[in-house]
Structure 1
Amino acid sequence: MRRIAMFRSLAVRNYRLYALGQLLSNPGTWMQRIAQDWLVLQLSGGSGIALGMTTALQFLPLLLFGLWGGALVDRLDKRRLLICTQSVMGALAVALGVLATAGAAEVWHVYVFAFALGLVTVLDNPGRQAFVPEMVDREHLSNAIALNSASFQLGRVTGPAIAGLLIALIGSGPVFLINGASFGFTIIALAMIRTAELTTTEPVPRGKGQIREGLRYIGGRRDLVLLLVLAAATQFFGANGQNQIALVVNNVFEAGAAAFGVAAAFLAVGALIGALLAARRDRPRIRLVLIGSMAFGLLQVAAGLMPGYVSFVVVLVPMGMAFLTYVTTLNATFQLSVDPQMRGRVMSMFLLVFMGVTPIGAPVVGLLADAFGPQASLVIGGTVTVLVVAALTGPLFRVHGVRVRDLLPGRRRTAAAAPAPAEEAGAGRAPDGHEADGATAAGPARGTGGLGRPPEDAVTRT
């Protein structure tokens, strides 16, 4: 019965088609990441600066235009938008693949490709986040988000391995071509979706100040602000875990590329397990966001203290599980607790914080590793994460009407019996006639000085 519950969102035809398209396309995405890095190293003579520049150019559009992209997503038909973005991303992959296969590719070609791909993801990322709630109802949303993460992590496990074999056999160019073709699976799935079965949100009319409106909405929701702070602090070091693992494997244990591949695979396997476990849960819980992020920080510290390669790799499995528990629960919390007409802008801010700290944290991780050693950088990063989570636990529980002491054994019933914050503030309906996700028809609940709170049926407080 629990196995059926783990995949319950697949009972929805539209989501089943979308999930299948993603499942077939995700390995291609990871194959391209490996091929892109390898191509840059080949063309630049092994330059680390060139590799870092490629990553920075791919993230730069998100930092510059992420909020604008979210505002535009709220005004557009999500399915048509995704067909367009997936088509452009496929065309970009094919173009670079043709250049690389013909032996005409240069480093600046990859720079242009990375920047163009980043521009498309400004719309594609929040578009995909906002489209899932249109395919499934609230009851299945948390499960659908977890299955999306599981599909992504499965691609992360299989894609690099396939890419490594293909690059050795036929070179980087054909790998780009294969990824370009893989976008066809998602495009076909989106085309087959029955629009009449979608719970579409009425597009926001074009107007001035929509980005400011989104920022005001988030600023009026103290729970979202605190969760964004938590995401930024955790991701600052966590998002660069792959770099830390590479440095530890190479510099400390003096193992080769194969050993690094095994370590990365162990982390991905743990992440896949974490995503599948998250799919078994009916609703996101703030408690799980905090437990997952706290466990991730503690396991970072443990990984940094491991004396040998084998023990280090073993710790990466639960570390990946903790990270995906935190990520999937946090994502579902945002999706379920915001006004549908604000979802694109809120999720663009979430992605801006969640992914935007990566290029900022990368040089800090590098400096710490150079100054104190790669293992010390893991210990420092994990310690910072633990301290931040500990500092935010009390405020987050207060926002959700739960006292930390109520979580002790014998006090759980008291916490569960507490009145729902949204009920205290008054529940309303969104402009499209659906239950307002944490907001009244006039805007976010402001029963306590502008403090917007998610409804009890959206995010379980403990």
Structure 2
Amino acid sequence: MNGLRGAELLGGKLPIKKLSNKLIENFPALKYKYFRYFLAGQCVSLMGTWIQRTAQQWVFYSITKSAFLLGILGVFQFTPMLLFSLFAGVFVDRFPKKKLLLITQFLQMLQAFVFAILILSGHIKYWHVLILAGIYGIVQTFDMPTRQSFFIELVGKEDLISAIGMNSTIVNIARILGPAISGIILLKLGPVFCFAINGFSFIAVMIGLMSIKSYQVNIRKQNCNIIKDIIDGLKYIKSQKVILTSVILMLIVGTFAFNNEVIIPVYVKEVLHKSAGVYSTLLTASGIGALIGSVKFASNKKRRSNVIFTSALILSMCLIIQGFIHTYYISILILTAYGFFNIIFMASVNSTIQINSSDEYRGRAVSVYSLVLVGTTPIGNLFAGTVGQYLGANMSFLSCGIITLVLMSIMFFYLKRV
């Protein structure tokens, strides 16, 4: 009786029902049951991933005490994306994405457990970390384009932008909570627990995937000539001006503006003279900004044509300003703004490429997106790590920001003339 009366006071609708309708109205991808299953599994898995990523950078720098080698770690982790992304795109277009994702999740789980065992043994060396980072990079080369291309099969093209925005939202919730949790675990329990937790977290996403029973499967007819498929995909991207422009802009920003995981550990130790807690806080600040940006992107129904350029230019200015900062609290504010415009830029480029790609070429188009987003990271990490080693973390922030700003400005005026 009391329950019915409460419902009447709420206009005849239960608060949960009202909340559900409101969420679906703002985030239409949530109306698809199997997308929700996949998203729920990703929530848990991504949390573990960010716990491990934070711990990995800290453990490696604690072992080596070298900003240059920290840059080399990025080279090992992201070079596979540079070398094999185009081949991965062909596989994504040829095989069921659900099966590919189950394989990649299982392999990442094994990598995390091996990491934990090595740390537990007390004999972990820096070259162990480099090899495991390389293995992770190979698996991610196939996982990333598969995951991104899977969204459209779960929700369709109409609600793809919402799905990308929702995925970005959970990624950035993990970016906020993951480093914070990792910092606590590093201080209280030690790094082995960070890697073990990540290993177990992959079970959730595998359960979510196995719960998906039916969805729109896009598989193109297999051609035994993989090189021909790669060339056809590149020709297709070249013929599509919108996709090609988005890829070039992602190449610039992905190379020079996405190196904070290499710079921040050095900045915390050498400039702020702080410990793991501050390191995780700065990463969390960036994650909070990215979370706000992803929610805004997912719920914003109007797309502005200049949002990619605007967000990239502001992103580069954040890095330039951070290059002059030696204060902890101001760094939190700047990195929060950086995180906001970072995700607006990435989600805008991602959705632009997928919406403008045909089903036949989407896997290869997304693999090229992955290539320029992550595959160029070894170049950027090596550059940022080298500058940090010889000129300091502040100069590393500054140089990355200036290069990004100059190259984006050149592209803007070139396209305006064309």
> TM-score, length-normalised on structure 1?
0.78
Deviation, structure 1 residue 306:
4.3
Tell me what 1:272 maps to.
Answer: 291
Deviation, structure 1 residue 175:
2.7
> C-alpha distance in 2, partners of 1:369/1:105?
25
The aligned runs of 1:55-454 (5 Å cut-off) are 55-103=74-122, 105-195=124-214, 198-208=215-225, 209-282=228-301, 284-306=303-325, 308-369=327-388, 373-393=392-412, 396=415
Sort the Cα spacing of 1:254 and 1:110 in 2 relative to 1 into closer, same or farther, 3 A.
closer
Higher RCO (C-alpha 8 Å, min separation 6): 2
**Is 1:13 equivalent to 2:19 in the alignment?**
no
Percent identity of equivalent pairs: 30
> C-alpha distance in 2, partners of 1:37/1:271?
20
Which amino acid counterpart does residue 381 of structure 1 have in structure 2?
Answer: C
CA contact (8 A) 1:300 1:382 kept: yes
CA contact (8 A) 1:142 1:283 kept: no
Sort the Cα spacing of 1:96 and 1:250 in 2 relative to 1 into closer, same or farther, 3 A.
closer
Gaps of 5+ in 2: 1-20
Sort the Cα spacing of 1:392 and 1:2 in 2 relative to 1 into closer, same or farther, 3 A.
farther
1:23 to 40, 43, 47: 43
Please list the CA deviations of residues 39-82 of structure 1 after superposition, one character each: whole Å capped at 9, or x if unmatched. 4456x464556544433222121122111111111100001110
Please list the CA deviations of residues 20-45 of structure 1 after superposition, one character each: whole Å capped at 9, or x if unmatched. 11111111001122333344456x46
Which amino acid counterpart does residue 164 of structure 1 have in structure 2?
Answer: G
> C-alpha distance in 2, partners of 1:90/1:252?
35
> C-alpha distance in 2, partners of 1:2/1:57?
44
Sort the Cα spacing of 1:88 and 1:283 in 2 relative to 1 into closer, same or farther, 3 A.
farther
Q: CA RMSD in A?
A: 2.6
> C-alpha distance in 2, partners of 1:167/1:258?
9
Deviation, structure 1 residue 211:
0.8
> C-alpha distance in 1, partners of 2:338/2:219?
40
Which amino acid counterpart does residue 323 of structure 1 have in structure 2?
Answer: N
Which amino acid counterpart does residue 45 of structure 2 have in structure 1?
Answer: S
Sort the Cα spacing of 1:174 and 1:329 in 2 relative to 1 into closer, same or farther, 3 A.
same
> TM-score, length-normalised on structure 2?
0.86
Gaps of 5+ in 1: 400-462
SS class of match (2:158): helix
Sort the Cα spacing of 1:38 and 1:372 in 2 relative to 1 into closer, same or farther, 3 A.
closer
Q: How many residues align?
A: 396
> C-alpha distance in 2, partners of 1:38/1:315?
22
> C-alpha distance in 2, partners of 1:396/1:36?
40
Q: By percentage of residues, which structure has more helix?
A: 2
